[in-house]
Structure 1
Amino acid sequence: MEYLDFELPIKELEEQLTKCVIIGEESDVDVTQTCKKIEKKLLETRKEIYKNLTSWQRVQLSRHPNRPYTLDYINALCGDTFLELHGDRNVADDKAMIGGLGKINDQSFMFIGQQKGYNTKTRQYRNFGMANPEGYRKALRLMKSAEKFNVPVVCFIDTPGAYAGIEAEERGQGEAIARNILEMTRLKVPIIVVIIGEGASGGALGIGVGDSVLMLENTWYSVISPESCSSILWRSWEFKEQAADALKLTAPDMKKMKIVDEIVKEPIGGAHSDRENTFEAVKSKIFEHFQELEKLSPKDLVNKRMDKYANMGVFNG
């Protein structure tokens, strides 16, 4: 288990509890009461730390190496019913963007999302979750297939941004993302978007237009990362914490500004501390929103989606 800087008090108490249990097992000393005291202190410390998280600490939690990624959610939600589909039928199969058909409660969904890696080798294989133009074109191809067969779409967002390499720009990165945004606004099937980790820049927006946009409690959604914002404004990454506060990128900020529709609560300690309950909460919310959206006709669905995005922001004429 890896710990972030602000989680060190929890680490110390967990180590104390482990030592206490070992002493009890290896000797005749009754340590039951001592262990209970440590457990109580541990629970109180957990609640206190996670109740008062700063914007930057939530950014750190969203990047936790043990945090579940898109494939973890899909496998937990769909089990053996998931069938991955590959390629954009033009250039290549982008490993940073995955998609395919799966079922939740016997209802078929087209799942699309960015996938990060678990170690150095898989991170390189997945390009750190940064999709190329062919990734967004693959996503659009799958959305169009879903529309053709009247299958609702679920998008999982977890990316530090779209890949910004020269070859990506040569193949039309900006156009691919813009095309996806346009096509998603008028797709005639329900679209449910779930932000499960990092939601950075156009890389997130390329699969981020939805009828219902859900955001896990310890995630972020912004036009730019705190580090990049800090380097532009202050010419240094040292002000990333101030940048995180200024960007208003947390789930409560997004909900307040009506950018997202609902915040999905995470277990105390973050999604990685209790994966099963996190998966169950996400599964429940996806199906709950789908049941509401399936009542709408395709025309009403598109009109409502258009109105939703047209009403975002403030305009002074």
Structure 2
Amino acid sequence: MTVIDSYLDTLFAPYPDTPRMREARSELRALMEDQQQALMDAGRTESQAVGAVIAEFGSLEEVAAELGIGAELSGGSGGAQPAADPVLDREQAERYVEAMRRGRWVPAVAIPMFVLAALPLLFLIAVSGESPTGWALGVGLTTLLVLVAGGVLLLVLHGSRMEEHAEVTEGRFTLTPAVRELASSLRREHRRERALALGAAILLWILAAVPVILAGVLSAPDSTAPLYGVCGTLAMVALGLFVVLRSGWSETAAGALLQEADEDDLAATSSSPAIRAIAALYWPVAAAIFLGWSFLTGDWGITWVVWPVAGVLYGGLWSLSAAIGSSDDAQRSPARRA
């Protein structure tokens, strides 16, 4: 008897031994063995592959709809059951993955556009010297608004195209072994690509301070040359975002198919409505403070401190959210025990 057989025996033991349950067990066994073979073909040992298959498999209730064993799991009662989320079959999941693949360039372009929006204005101010001309300010501000508007428009259009897959993006579906296997294989196939992209992006972000440092050291005290360094920094940050966002589509798609919540997204996962509202506005407000302070004072060599301070405060906000969630769980526990 194989490990998978022993696992399935334990899994099906609490339920009646009906012909439909035996058939469902055979179907599930075939799916798990196929997934095990795929992992072994990818270089895993037999024991590693079996362990991964069993670890990735959820409860029997999650696949009851697809296997047609809902009545058996509920004890065969004929009473009305709560409406379940629709089953997501592999074909639907593959269409969602393809839509994500085709649209991967949209966030990779739109979000860096927000970072680059201020670059033309800063560059024109630097070219104009200590007293920027009206045309430089006018063209720079116009370009800034056009880039921001273009980024927003791209994201809105991408969101409208993905509305046909709303049940996936919102997690309103019943996960099946076939979809679980698709998501796992998607992660495996693109793991190296994501790792290389993330490494390149981190390198760019670490080195992004170099243009500002060099421009500040090599320029005269009253010169506008440091603005060229700021432009270089913004360009490197935007390039890093492009690289990592363009390769991150597979992880986003796999997470959605596996119904995994983004634990770092306080705006979506916090149990506190107040924290969700603050988190949704936090980084846009931080960006507005940074740009406003920088443009009004011109102290670009100092205003960067907004970002580490904002990062520390966001960590505090995350800790507060975790503490509130733990408190809520502790309050619910006595109620469950009662």
What range is the shorter-chain TM-score in?
Answer: under 0.3
Larger Rg computed on CA atoms: 2
Give the number of the structure with larger relative contact order, counting CA–CA contacts within 8 Å between residues 6 or more apart. 2
When the two structures are superposed, what TM-score results if normalisation uses the length of structure 1?
0.26
Higher strand share: 1
Higher helix share: 2
